Structure 1
Amino acid sequence: MKILIAGSTGKTGLRLVRELQTRGHSPIAMVRESSDTSGLPEGVEQRRGDLTDLDDDVTQGCEVVVFAAGSGGDTSPEMTDKVDRDGAKALVDLSVSSGVRRFVMLSSIGAGDPDPQSDLAHYLEAKHAADEHLMATDLEYAILRPVALTDDDGTGDVRLGENADPEGEAARGDVARILADAAEAPEWAGKVLEMESVK
């Protein structure tokens, strides 16, 4: 499958590109002009795209789109809105108009019902808005909401849904594997699941 990855040069996105390639898919790395593409596997197709100003044809020819991007923890509320809320919603809309079949959203624990007292309240509200926008479309969707991320490879042993501990950790390697599952497996259609790695 041709699978477009937004956030392809990030810590999770790079792992996802490699995982999809290993599984025999054709990942397409969506990259900005300023992106460091040196970590991408050789030969992976790249497609220019900036979540703050997307071209109408960025999702053309793709069967699946994965949003694995993020504005980062140190960015302003305005940039969080531009990337995590408005950028995600724009990518969803372009996926609808170009005939994409499935959209996989990397969200966050707490995005289902953001706590206004949380230190991450603004970020979670942006994620919530993007998730709700996706679910309101006719796209096949899958939404993954991991707990706190680590840069570990993980073991492949994870807890999903109500079994995930909100205070636990999710290894980026495990997150990439689950995102790949969500992109290809029929049973992921319409799922919204929390995720924790099991150590």
Structure 2
Amino acid sequence: MNILVAGATGKTGQLLVQDLLDKGHKPTALVRESSDTSDLPEGVDLRHGDLTDLSSGVCEGMDAVIFAAGSGGSTGPEMTNKVDRDGAKKLVDLARAEGVKRFVMLSSIGADQENPQGEMANYLEAKHAADEHLKASGLTYAILRPVALSDAGRSDETVLGEEVEKSAEASRADVAALLAEAAVSGRFDGKALDMQSA
């Protein structure tokens, strides 16, 4: 499958594109002109595009799209809204326009709330808006909502759905593996699932 990955240069994104390559698929990294792509695995194609100003055609020729991007923890609400909300929504619209078969969204635990509270409220509001836009788009979708991310390796198993403990952790390696599986297998089509490493 030809799979576009937004956020491919991030920690989770790098693991994700390697996982897709290992499974025999063809990942294409959506990157800004200024992005450092030196850590991407060999065999990953590049397609230039900025999530704050996407142009038509970025999803051309793709069977699936995975949104694994984020504005980063050090940016303010404005950039969070531009990337995590508006950028994600625009990518959904462009994927639909190109007839992409499946869209996989990396979201966050708590993004199912309409009115989140606390210091993460803006981030969760942005993720919630993006998730709801995807659900309403008509695209075949899967949404993964992990708990706090860690750099631990692959675990023996993962927990999905209602059994997830909000105080647990999810390794980026496990998240990447599940995003790849969601994109290529259809196992999670039409689902929005909380997730943790066991």
TM-score range, shorter chain: over 0.9
CA contact (8 A) 1:156 1:177 kept: no
Pairing 1:172-183 to 2, within 5 Å after superposition: 172-183=172-183
Percent sequence identity over aligned pairs: 61
1:117 deviates by: 2.4
TM (norm. structure 1) is 0.97
Q: Which residue of 2 aligns with 1:19?
A: 19
Structure 1 residues 112-121 or 14-23, which shifts more? Answer: 112-121
Cα 1:7–1:156 change in 2 (3 A) is farther
Q: Matched residue of 1:46: which SS? A: strand
CA contact (8 A) 1:9 1:40 kept: yes
Structure 1 residues 92-101 or 109-118, which shifts more? Answer: 109-118
Cα 1:61–1:156 change in 2 (3 A) is farther
Aligned residue identity for 1:129: A
CA contact (8 A) 1:65 1:100 kept: yes
1:91 deviates by: 0.1
CA contact (8 A) 1:140 1:190 kept: yes
Gaps of 5+ in 2: none
Q: Which residue of 2 aligns with 1:49?
A: 49
Q: Which residue of 2 aligns with 1:85?
A: 85
Cα 1:114–1:73 change in 2 (3 A) is farther
The answer on 1:113 being equivalent to 2:118 is no
Q: Matched residue of 1:187: which SS? A: coil
1:114 deviates by: 5.0
Q: Which residue of 1 aligns with 2:32?
A: 32
The answer on 1:187 being equivalent to 2:183 is no
Gaps of 5+ in 1: none
1:153 deviates by: 1.7
CA contact (8 A) 1:151 1:171 kept: yes
Q: Which residue of 1 aligns with 2:154?
A: 154
Structure 1 residues 24-33 or 153-162, which shifts more? Answer: 153-162
1:154 deviates by: 2.5
Q: Which residue of 2 aligns with 1:65?
A: 65
